[in-house]
A and B are shown apart, each in its own frame.
Chain A
Amino acid sequence: MSGPAAPTPETVLEWASTVQSTSDKIIRRLAGEYHEDEWGFDEEFAEAVFPLFDFLYSTWWRVKVEGASNLPGHGRALLVANHSGAIFPFDAAMIATAIQKEHPLPRWVRAMVLNWAFDLPFVSYILRRLGGVAANPANLGRLLEEDQPVMVFPEGQKGFGKPFADRYRLQRFGRGGFVEVALETGTPIVPVAVVGAEEIYPKLAESKPLARALGSPYLPITPTFPWLGPLGLLPLPSRWRIEFLEPIDLSGYGPGASEDRSLVFDLSEQVREQVQEALYRGLVARGPAFL
């Protein structure tokens, strides 16, 4: 063997110590000696998965981020984003990765997850370990009272499972439950617009019989899934752009404001319009979807 490729003793030692620390970590984890919080979030697990997210973020989707510092560096915050993905909620993963990489004070953002995801084997506990929590007002309120940053996708299933033809058209924002909780807890809302996640799995149709056969609540059909089997789960390498907008301060509305229906709908609509405008802006700024 010749040339500069030969590893120096220092790098060999470095590898050895990496191997040792990794195996130590695995042995420690197998003994149950790790920390998980009361929600089941396991920071060490999230950090172990992070290199994969980082690869998707930097290389696969070439994510560009605007205004990451609009998320307050401490205290509660509610990120409200458009939802898409059809198969996996990679938009949530990339928002979390963007905060880790671009924010001056990175922190792990919890995500409100559709209820049926917790009925799926494996998916349920992977989501939970990464900070996913079942979406309901009780959980959201409690997380915000603990001063956590939380992301919600008010479109829910309607946005996640919408056909490719409807891409970047925001769906209805439910009952505005997220605004109610934000008003109750005095949480600033940070609207987030994610461009790029609509192209990773272009959903053409969905199959109810197949979903029923697999015991899944929903099963999308894309040009590659389920035709190519597991290979069809490979997301397309679209180009992404994530924009964090200015926070909307809700602390000035007073205690009874969450029961004011018209205020809740107005605020919900205001957030929705801001996200929709940012999506149109982002689509222009991004340019071609894949190149």
Chain B
Amino acid sequence: MGDADVKLSTKRIVIAGVSTRWGSELARTLQRRSGVGEIIGIDSAPPRMDLGRTEFVEADIRDPAISRVLPSLEPDVVVHCGIVWYPEKGRPSRALHDINVIGTLQLLAACEKTPGLESLIVRGSASIYGSAPGAPAFFTEDMARRYPLVTRFQRDIGELEGYFDNFARRRPRVACCMLRFQVEIGPGLDTPFNRYLSLPVVPTRMGFDPRLQLLHADDATGALAAATLNPVRGAVNVAPDGAISLSRLLRLCGKSAIGIPPVLGGAINRRVGRYLGSADLYRDGEFLLRYGRGCDNRRLREEVGYELAFDSEGAVRDFARTSRGIQALFQAPHPGSPVRSVPR
């Protein structure tokens, strides 16, 4: 057991957005670790899975009352898992901007009033880098905003990263860590990309075969827990090693694809977009599925010290092995269901 673990045994960790899949998974992972102190989860709705010794406090981060609730919990570490990437049950697309931007702003204001705070970890998104034809194949953390933020979700992420940077500058004693997550893949996940892969015939953009990085769901949770226990300052990409092209991914998953010519692209994308979540949000996916995106993960491996269990190809193979068949097609898993252990 290292020094960091010993110190953490007396630390109180507050997880904002604990009822999201990622918040719940983080709570379950952290409480299994020896040497982690009290864990308190806050969210506007109770968690959908049993969180064991994690204490739940009902509070909405959009509500100014959070400025009284958070300091009263006396947290040493705050993990913000409440950033919503796409509509979920109880989180319609209209509310996303409110939750993502206003919610984060309120949470940061509450952190300002929390004197003992030592570190703040935010689960953000790599979509701040965008997807462009001439983009670096591996974005490093200093390359954010190199391309204009075109979709609503990107602008939300850009705005909240701006507030976050401001907070980090104003409160130099708090270690502020912004995690930029790549697209996740996993048998138990219910995300637009996983739903996209469960379509009977997968539409792709004709003539384009993007390079993608798929983060295994286990690694997503593992990296979040590692960063909570060892927060480094600034942004950190959470991305797997290597990359895989969409065509190879679909072949490994045994899916048939159909190339959509650009003339029909708009109409079909909107249909597919509505099925996957919301048409507007799916514009992120449209760019991603045309140009792809890769991120450099050296900071995660060397500074946070997290060893990734799967590379991009491994994550896809694991997904193909565990989700092939009827289950993936007809029985959409609950967003709150735990990740199944990998059969060896």
| Among listed B230-238, B243-251, B271-279, interface-contacting one | B243-251
Distance A115 CA – B136 CA, assembled complex (angstroms) = 10
Which of B205, B248, B291, B294 has a CB less than 8 Å from the CB of A38?
B294
- CB of A67 to closest CB in B, whole Å: 31
Which of B133, B138, B241 has a CB less than 8 Å from the CB of A142?
B138
- CB of B138 to closest CB in A, whole Å: 6
- CB of B300 to closest CB in A, whole Å: 16
Any B CB within 8 A of the CB of A139 = yes
- CB of B211 to closest CB in A, whole Å: 5
Take A31-B251, A119-B133, A125-B209 as given contacts and tell me if A40 and B243 are in contact as well, using a CB distance cutoff of 8 Å. yes
Distance A181 CA – B219 CA, assembled complex (angstroms) = 33
Chain A residues whose C-beta falls within 8 Å of the C-beta of B262 in the assembled complex: 121, 215
Distance A278 CA – B305 CA, assembled complex (angstroms) = 51
Distance A133 CA – B247 CA, assembled complex (angstroms) = 18
Any B CB within 8 A of the CB of A134 = yes
- Determine if B137 and A36 form an interchain contact, defined as CB atoms under 8 angstroms apart: no
Any B CB within 8 A of the CB of A34 = yes
- Determine if B245 and A36 form an interchain contact, defined as CB atoms under 8 angstroms apart: yes
Distance A174 CA – B178 CA, assembled complex (angstroms) = 36
Distance A215 CA – B291 CA, assembled complex (angstroms) = 16
- Determine if A133 and B137 form an interchain contact, defined as CB atoms under 8 angstroms apart: yes
- Determine if B134 and A36 form an interchain contact, defined as CB atoms under 8 angstroms apart: no
Chain B residues whose C-beta falls within 8 Å of the C-beta of A33 in the assembled complex: 252
Within 8 A of B (CB), among A111-142: 114-125, 128, 133-136, 138-139, 142
- Determine if B251 and A30 form an interchain contact, defined as CB atoms under 8 angstroms apart: yes
| Contact mask for chain B residues 119-147; partner A; CB cutoff 8 A; 1 contact, 0 none | 00000000000000111111010010000
- Determine if B248 and A139 form an interchain contact, defined as CB atoms under 8 angstroms apart: no
Distance A116 CA – B135 CA, assembled complex (angstroms) = 11
Residue of A nearest to B312 (CB): A38
Within 8 A of A (CB), among B277-335: 291, 294
Any B CB within 8 A of the CB of A253 = no
Any B CB within 8 A of the CB of A229 = no
Take A32-B252, A124-B207 as given contacts and tell me if A136 and B136 are in contact as well, using a CB distance cutoff of 8 Å. yes
Distance A119 CA – B245 CA, assembled complex (angstroms) = 16
Take A38-B243, A118-B291, A138-B143 as given contacts and tell me if A125 and B138 are in contact as well, using a CB distance cutoff of 8 Å. no
Most buried by A among B133, B242, B252: B133
Take A38-B242, A128-B211 as given contacts and tell me if A118 and B133 are in contact as well, using a CB distance cutoff of 8 Å. yes
Within 8 A of B (CB), among A123-170: 123-125, 128, 133-136, 138-139, 142
Chain A residues whose C-beta falls within 8 Å of the C-beta of B242 in the assembled complex: 37-38
Within 8 A of A (CB), among B252-274: 252-253, 262
- CB of A89 to closest CB in B, whole Å: 15
- CB of B171 to closest CB in A, whole Å: 31
Residue of B nearest to A142 (CB): B138
A-B contact pairs, 30 of them (CB 8 A): A30-B251, A31-B251, A32-B248, A32-B253, A37-B242, A38-B137, A38-B138, A38-B241, A38-B294, A39-B137, A114-B134, A116-B134, A117-B133, A118-B134, A118-B291, A119-B133, A121-B207, A121-B262, A125-B207, A125-B209, A134-B135, A135-B134, A136-B134, A138-B136, A138-B137, A138-B138, A138-B143, A139-B136, A139-B137, A215-B262
A interface vs B, CB < 8 Å? 29-34, 36-40, 114-125, 128, 133-136, 138-139, 142, 215
Shortest 9 CB-CB distances between A and B: which pairs? A121-B207, A115-B134, A32-B251, A118-B133, A32-B252, A138-B136, A125-B209, A119-B133, A122-B207
B interface vs A, CB < 8 Å? 133-138, 140, 143, 205-209, 211, 241-245, 247-253, 262, 291, 294
